[in-house]
Amino acid sequence: MMLNHTMTQYHVNRGLKVFGEQGEAAVLAELQQLHVQDVIEPMCAHELSEADCADALPYLIFLKQKQTGIKKGLGCADVGSSAYT
């Protein structure tokens, strides 16, 4: 017999409510990884021009609990909502 087990993943706002401090740690770990690997550079929104804001890709973060119980942050750029499509 084969068992299929699906794990729910939550958008970051809902995930933080569900997982609390462990969810917050997972989000920080995901963002820290992006920063350390020079993938993104944090910038203040008020310092960006309108063109820069229009060109910026939204970054989505989801949280899930793995079968081992570890909370994991998963991030991706939302290219479907940008001018690059």
Residue 34 lies in a domain: yes
Establish if 71 belongs to a structural domain: yes
Structural domain span for residue 41: 9-79
**For residue 35, what are the contacts with CB-CB under 8 A and spacing of at least 6?**
42
**What are the φ/ψ torsions at residue 65 (nearest 5 degrees)?**
-105, 125
34 and 40 Cβ atoms separated by less than 8 Å? yes
Give the pLDDT mean for 58-82: 87
What's the domain count of the chain? 1
Q: Residues 11-54: pLDDT tens digits?
A: 999 999 999 999 999 999 999 998 899 887 778 888 999 998 88
Assess if residue 84 is contained within a domain: no
In this prediction the pTM is 0.73
- Whether residue 60 is contained in a domain is answered as yes
- The answer to whether residue 1 is domain-embedded is no
